Amino acid sequence: MLGAIIGDIAGSRFEFNNHRSKDFDLFAPNSFATDDSIMTLAIAKAIMEAVQEGSSDDQDFYDRLSELSVYYMQEIGRPYPGSGYGGRFLTWMYSDQPEPYNSFGNGSAMRVSPAGFYARSLEKALLLSDAVTRVTHNHPEGLKGARATAAAVFLARTGSSIPEIKKHMEEHYYALDFTLDEIRPVYRFNETCQETVPQAIQCFIESLSFEDAIRNAISIGGDSDTIGAITGAIAQAYYGVPQDLRDQALTFLDERLLGIYQEWEEFIEELKVRPR
């Protein structure tokens, strides 16, 4: 999850002022944690609460996870109205009766990485992804973008090679028949899953390290914070996150958000020492 936050923060100052080069400072005084980080933390909180309430092997669990996703996205997100939420999501977040709105925006993919980090199988990753996504992005392409991201995170976390991850993405989700050098001069801002998730995955596919993946993501332009978040999540699962970048990134979270992040880290660490 931290990889998504780092990618988001690195891309925050370039979303509407694209930087088409890999030469830039990852963090700057005007960098900030956007809605991408806030909603990722909200989904992490929902997963933790659902797991603590009971079994993760039946339909009731996934239904409850959907309910908790709504609750925590609203509860955690409302204090940050100026963080870059899309118009329809902002309306949803403040609604007393929030309903899915058939979205295929990339918000489904930017927030879903906790599903890939928690899941114990690829099948579970996809079920978790659907449960946290369908409450807003119930369009097939919105669900697909989230599924692709969760699957890539899971595969990267559990030992798949980069060629294996690319093969799985192409067989099940998107054609990755382009290079970053080919699209960098022409790629433009786009907030759909169809036009950001494949690009973000390719930024990871062509990477040499965690930091290189983030630099790839920012260098192509477009919706920089969200592409950074999606790429960063997969890159963390594959490479891990260098300690210096971890330390710098966490300074951009306020006390409330940092507390959720630390709770997630403890939750994931505990899972390593007890059976699920």
80 in a structural domain = yes
Which pLDDT does position 271 carry in this prediction?
82
In a domain, 222, yes or no: yes
Domain assignment present for residue 69? The answer is yes
Q: What is the DSSP string of 61-76?
A: HHHHHHHHHHHHHHHH
> What is the number of domains present in the chain?
1
Domain of residue 156 covers 2-271
As given in the structure block, the two tokens for residue 127 are 């079920």
**Nearest of 164, 156, 67, 69 to residue 116 by alpha carbon:** 156
pLDDT value at position 274? 57
DSSP per-residue letters across 105-170: BTHHHHT-HHHHHH-SSHHHHHHHHHHHHTTT--SHHHHHHHHHHHHHHHHHHTT--HHHHHHHHH
Report the CATH number at residue 186: 1.10.4080.10
Residue 221, phi-psi category: left (phi > 0), alpha (psi -120 to 50), beta (remainder): left
Phi and psi torsions of 105, nearest 5°: -70, 160
In a domain, 110, yes or no: yes
pLDDT per residue as tens, the chain (276 positions):
999 999 999 999 999 999 999 999 999 999 999 999 999 999 999 999 999 998 777 889 999 999 999 999 999 999 999 999 999 999 999 999 999 999 999 999 999 999 999 999 999 999 999 999 999 999 999 999 999 999 999 999 999 999 999 999 999 999 999 999 999 999 999 999 999 999 999 999 999 999 999 999 999 999 999 999 999 999 999 999 999 999 999 999 999 999 999 999 999 998 875 554
| pLDDT of amino acid 272 | 74
pLDDT score at 54: 81
- Domain membership of residue 276 (yes or no) is no
* Residues across the chain: 276
